[in-house]
Structure 1
Amino acid sequence: MKKAILVMIIVSVVGALAFSATEVSLALPVVITSAGQSTEVETVTYVADEIGLKYDYCDILSKDELAAGVGLGGAASAIGKHVTTLSPDPKGTKFQSMILALGASLKGMGASGLSVDSEVSRLKALIDYAKANEIAIIAVAIGGSVQRGLPGSPIEVMIDTVAPFADIFIVTKDSNKDGRFTNAASERDVPIVEIDSAFDLLDTFAEVFGL
C-alpha cells in the first residue's frame, strides 16, 4: 500500500497547514525508532501497544535493518539495543512508514554506545534511505518545553536533523510553544498535527493508521 496524505479541511495556523488526525492517513507496516535515545520513544511504543498498532521497533535502528523490512533482518536485542518485531506482514515486506520519536538523552546515547554525532549520522542514513524508497517519515515530539533546549543543544540538533525531512509532524502544544515545528511544516507544506498532550497520541495514532 502506498503512503497517502489525505487533505479534507485545511486550517491556516501561523502560516502553516494544520491538520486534525482524521485528515491524515499513513500506511503500514511501520517501524519505530528513537531520534536522540530519550524516553519519549517508550511512550510512543506504549501508545502503539495500547491501541493495537503492530509495529517493528529498534531504538538504534540502522539503515540496513530499515532496508531489510519487516523483521529487521533478524535483528535481536543486546546490550544497549532493544528490538521488538510485531508487524504481521511477511518478513522482508517494505516499511511504508517510519516514526522518529524526538528527544535527546546523553545518558541514553551513552548506554547505546552513541554520541550526538554518531546518532545524527544514524538518523541521516535512515532519512536518506526513507526518502529514496518512499517511506513516510513521521516526526513525533511529545517531550514538552522541558525537552527543548538552546540552539546547538542535543535535542535541538536532533530536531535540526529530522525536521527538514519529515513528511508529517505530530507534536504536543507544549513542545511547539516557539512554533519551531509549525515553521518546519510550513516551509515544506507538510501536515502538522498538534495535540494537547502525549495522552492524545492514543486517538491520534488510531486515526492516522486507520485503526
Structure 2
Amino acid sequence: MGDYFAWPCAETIVAGILALYRRLPELAVLQQQRRWVGAPLRAGTGLLRHKQVVILGAGAIGQAVREQLSGFQCTVQLLARTNPEAQLHTVEELQAALPATDIVINCLPGSANGFFSAELVAAMAPSSIYASVGRGNTTDEPALVAALQAGRIGGAVLDVTAQEPLPADSPLWTLPNVLLTQHTGGGQPHEDEGKVEMLLRNLSHLQAGEPLENLVELGRGY
C-alpha cells in the first residue's frame, strides 16, 4: 500500500515520543489510581522541541515523520543508502552520529533485517529515545531490552516488535520507560475502504496504460 499508511504511522510514533517526554503513560496510571501527584512530576518532563533526530529510512513514512517534526523545530537527519535527500548513508556514519542524537526513529522495511544492531544500540546517548514504526525484525531486540533495563538509553516507543503479538513474558511489557502501541501505527478511519479505493485506482491506471502508484522493487524488498 506504499504511502497509504505513512501519515498515520508518523503520527503514532511522534505521539508516542511526545507521550514519553511529557510523562503521559505515568499520568494515565495515576488517573486510573485516582492519585493526584501534580507539581513534583513537572521537573521530570521533557520537550520534543529542538531535539536532534535521526530517521532510519527515507521512504514515505520517514518523510512524513520529518515533516511532522518540523513543527517542533527538530534537527533531522535521514539515513538511506542511495537517497540523495539523506545526510547519512552508511552504518559507520550512523554510528558516529548516534552519541549526539536525542531520538532515533526506525522506519526501515523488513528487508533491513537486524540493521539496528547491538553495536548501534551501544552507541546511543544515555538519555536518548529509540522509536520503531518500520518492522520489528530490523532491531536487535535483546540488545535494546538490555540497554533499557540497564538505563543505558532513556526509553523506547515501539509500534512493532520482533514477535507479534508480543509474548506475555517479554520484559517490554513491564519496563517503565517503554511505550508499546501494538502495531496500530497505520490505523485510520475507514482503513479497509481506503485500501480498496487505492486498488481500484491502480486498476484504472493499469487499464489506461498509466504509471501505477506505490510501485515495489522486489529486488530491494520495498
Q: Using structure 1 for the length normalisation, give the TM-score.
A: 0.40
Structure with more of its chain in strand, by fraction: 1
Q: Using structure 2 for the length normalisation, give the TM-score.
A: 0.39
Q: Which has the higher contact order (CA 8 A, sep 6+)?
A: 1
| CA radius of gyration, larger in | 2
